[in-house]
Amino acid sequence: MESRLFSPMTIRDVTWKNRVMVSPMWQYCAFEGFPTDWHLMNLGRFADGGAGLVFQEGTTVERRGCGGRGDLAIWDDVYIEPLRRIADLVRANGAVPAIQLMHAGRKARQKVPYDGRGPLEYCEDIKDWDAWELIGPSALASEGADVPREMTLSDISAVVQAFADAARRAEEIGYDAMEIHGAHGYLVHQFLSPASNQRGDRYGGSLENRMRFASEVVEAVRSQWPAGKPLFMRLSCVDGGHGGADSPPYDARR
């Protein structure tokens, strides 16, 4: 039986030359949100190496959503030109350039892995420290982290809009595929899981309500992302019995 691994694949109007995909992998090497030559080299070599679809690591849609100091950013137009260098290089080497959009939510403001993770202590050299606020669906901390502020309805609307604005910038930059990060305990996942979402309004409680934030993010992104370009969402569907789509409602008392 002939392998289809090296045959072209088309989703919507975008075709990549084979079915080898480079997943979004954090590099922790951005400087104040800007990519460095490391990002250019790292993603460029995957494209030159023959992969059909090359994803850029999770790129943050607003300041509050940065997981750590080395995260890439797309929350302002100042990041468009530096990121365009990456997309152009990936395409010039025969691959489809793709981007993952993310927001860390209550998992923001963390030390990078090689520093041991855990909450990042106040740093004077981070000029916008006060803007790097920890937010989440509920005032519940993830293990070993600080307690986030529960998001207001205004916060939710602002973050949904931030995803839409990021999608607009990604289209202007020239990416041809996009993934929304809704897994691994980051903000979209935090809304989906009753282990982190114990709200009493329309964004909490039933599975339908917990899905509302994710649905609004998808709709907002698609409003700015061309219909001919694929849009994916990464999900963690089993949460160790504490809030995956297959789990009963989480009881915080047990």
Using one digit for the tens of pLDDT, what is the confidence trace for 101-140?
999 999 999 999 889 889 999 988 898 999 999 999 999 9
Is 13 part of a structural domain of the chain?
A: no
Query: Span 183-192, mean pLDDT?
Result: 95
Instruction: Express each pLDDT in 49-62 by its tens digit.
Output: 999 999 999 999 99
Spell 204-231 as b/e; 16+ CB within 10 A means b: beeeebbebbbebbbebbbebbeeebbb
- In this predicted structure, what is the pLDDT of residue 142? 86
Strand bridging mode 135-136 / 149-150:
parallel
Structure-token match 């919507």, residue found: 12
What CATH number is associated with residue 39? Answer: 3.20.20.70
Is 189 part of a structural domain of the chain?
A: yes
Is 216 part of a structural domain of the chain?
A: yes
Is 33 part of a structural domain of the chain?
A: yes
For 215, the domain range is: 18-118+128-235
Q: How confident is the model at residue 237 (pLDDT cuts 50, 70, 90)?
A: confident
What percent of the chain has pLDDT above 70? 93
- In this predicted structure, what is the pLDDT of residue 80? 98
Q: How confident is the model at residue 238 (pLDDT cuts 50, 70, 90)?
A: confident
Is 241 part of a structural domain of the chain?
A: no
Phi-psi region of 33 (alpha: psi -120 to 50; beta: other; left: phi over 0): left
Going from the C-alpha of 70 to that of each of 24, 52, 241, the distances in angstroms are 15, 27, 32
- In this predicted structure, what is the pLDDT of residue 240? 62
Instruction: Express each pLDDT in 202-235 by its tens digit.
Output: 999 999 999 999 999 999 999 999 999 999 999 9
- In this predicted structure, what is the pLDDT of residue 41? 97
Reading the block at residue 14, the tokens are 């975008």
pLDDT above 80 (res 155): yes
pLDDT above 80 (res 177): yes
Query: What is the chain's alpha carbon radius of gyration, rounded to the nearest angstrom?
Result: 18
Going from the C-alpha of 32 to that of each of 153, 170, 226, the distances in angstroms are 28, 18, 29
Is 123 part of a structural domain of the chain?
A: no
Is 84 part of a structural domain of the chain?
A: yes
Instruction: Give the count of beta carbons closer than 10 Å to the beta carbon of residue 158.
Output: 14
Q: How confident is the model at residue 245 (pLDDT cuts 50, 70, 90)?
A: low
Spell 5-35 as b/e; 16+ CB within 10 A means b: eeeebeeeebebbbebbbebebbbbbeebeb
Structure-token match 């202590």, residue found: 121
Q: Name the average pLDDT for the chain.
A: 93
By annotation, the residues acting in catalysis are 186
Is 196 part of a structural domain of the chain?
A: yes
- In this predicted structure, what is the pLDDT of residue 143? 83
Q: How confident is the model at residue 6 (pLDDT cuts 50, 70, 90)?
A: very high
Q: How confident is the model at residue 97 (pLDDT cuts 50, 70, 90)?
A: very high
Q: How many domains does the chain have?
A: 1
